[in-house]
Structure 1
């Protein structure tokens, strides 16, 4: 069993990778690169605990996807694959051919499609509370409700992301989430760039090309949880059953945002998975 220790945040660096658009990220540590990708309502700060836990052993980095956090907005409509090309730029910034990728929710969707486009650049995948495409986990009615909960306040009612955040956070956090965890999630949702978020909603939910999971040839771990109403654990198990060399982990007591709600358990699973890969190469 791997023990998790948290270290001071003072050494975490924030940089902005030039390009169109410029991409912001936090990172710390040295060694093999591990990149964390947030969900549709998040940003790089959602992965602060993971950077602290992994940086003594790896170079741990978390990005703001284009149009999120400190990353730049963009003028055109979003193609979902733009995220993948941005991620390739991030790997180039660190002058590495390969990275371990960990994505939650939409971040996991990006990881899968990055593997479709750049398979040689992915050392392993951790897919948390995610899906192959949105309609794999949501019926047309459920997807319409999901979109309405986010688009109606922002578009029809003219509200800001900060005004939308409490109601949206309530739908994805589990019943055991602490006030501090709610604060983290609401803060990241409040920081959403309104127009870029709406572009992402349209592009991500409509993007349906699916990675052929049976074709995956790299180590993959899937992490799902007890109280996730968006990405249920039985769906995660069905994904895992299709991926060779995959490992499935079930986290009790968490909702959709497993890395925030059960951060120590999540980090322990990550370190155990990655250290196992290190031992295979020795």
Structure 2
């Protein structure tokens, strides 16, 4: 039998202050991917190839991230959920399944709350988005403070060795070509002030974890055990406060398990989607 690749098309969504680039691949239920601070719509190449035979995969670049354009003053994460809502409406997707990495978690949590019941599955990979784990209890707050103090030096050490913390030491050492590709994707967003975006993200991490119950959607926290960017235990601390939340980790992965260990990542997402329907 002759192989036929899934259909693919690209487009641009015009917003009042910027343009959002997207790519649609495959057919079936809508599966949307929201990338992290070092990514873009190309970040998901290993997921789209896997899921497109069964899902309509939608990958987009957040405002300010290549090849989307940036509004004056740079992107503000408070606009991400509305951008996604406009894209979902433009494409006529209706209900969606949403896979979010790191920064994309802010998009995912806020979109799920913006449209309760419209997200059939929410994957928060290496992220808790706008949910604040410090509000769980004092023990979790103390653990977070200790973890952040410890890994600030780790991240500085990686930077001194020309290794992206979001990629991680293991990817750079064991799979240098993959780390190089990761770095190339990160570098495409020329002129973007990522530290300014990071500050805005952290300033908007204010929600109590229990707030996500209002979204009415199943949630999978999917951390990498060796993450040095965001604490891998945060999702597990939150999960008991969110109905329908569960945790599945990849112990040997860094911050970007979807890129570093795609087979394991895709299998866990597959199992979650099959479970929640």
TM (normalized to structure 2)?
A: 0.81
Alpha carbons of structure 1 residues 112 and 135: separation in structure 2 relative to 1, 3 Å: closer
Unmatched 5+ stretches in structure 2: 135-143
Task: Say if 2:266 is the partner of 1:267.
Answer: yes
Could you report, residue by residue, the CA deviation over 1:176-231 in whole angstroms, capped at 9, with x for unpaired residues? 55112201210112112324535423321221331513444211111112211223
Question: What is the Cα deviation at residue 143 of structure 1?
Answer: 11
Cα separation, 1, equivalents of 2:264 and 2:61: 24
Question: What is the Cα deviation at residue 80 of structure 1?
Answer: 2.3
Structure 1 residue aligned with 2:116: 119
8 Å Cα contact 1:174-1:254 kept in structure 2? no
Cα separation, 2, equivalents of 1:67 and 1:168: 23
Cα separation, 2, equivalents of 1:37 and 1:175: 24
Structure 2 residue aligned with 1:94: 91
Structure 1 residue aligned with 2:80: 83
8 Å Cα contact 1:225-1:232 kept in structure 2? no
Structure 1 residue aligned with 2:212: 213
Structure 1 residue aligned with 2:36: 39
Question: What is the Cα deviation at residue 102 of structure 1?
Answer: 0.8
**Residue pairs, 1:68-217, within 5 angstroms:** 68-76=65-73, 78-133=75-130, 136=133, 139=145, 167=162, 169-170=164-165, 172-176=167-171, 177-195=174-192, 197-210=194-207, 212-217=211-216
Moved more, 171-180 or 82-91: 171-180
Aligned residue for 1:260, secondary structure, equals helix
Structure 1 residue aligned with 2:140: none
Determine which of 40, 45, 50 is the counterpart of 2:47: 50
Cα separation, 1, equivalents of 2:176 and 2:264: 19
Moved more, 134-143 or 167-176: 134-143
CA-based RMSD of the aligned residues comes to: 3.0
Count residues in correspondence.
Answer: 257
Alpha carbons of structure 1 residues 268 and 144: separation in structure 2 relative to 1, 3 Å: closer
Cα separation, 1, equivalents of 2:224 and 2:73: 36
Question: What is the Cα deviation at residue 142 of structure 1?
Answer: 5.0
Unmatched 5+ stretches in structure 1: 1-6, 150-163
Could you report, residue by residue, the CA deviation over 1:13-65 in whole angstroms, capped at 9, with x for unpaired residues? 32212223111112211111111011111111110111111111110111100
Cα separation, 1, equivalents of 2:161 and 2:244: 39
8 Å Cα contact 1:219-1:245 kept in structure 2? yes
8 Å Cα contact 1:165-1:189 kept in structure 2? no
TM (normalized to structure 1)?
A: 0.80
Cα separation, 1, equivalents of 2:180 and 2:200: 27
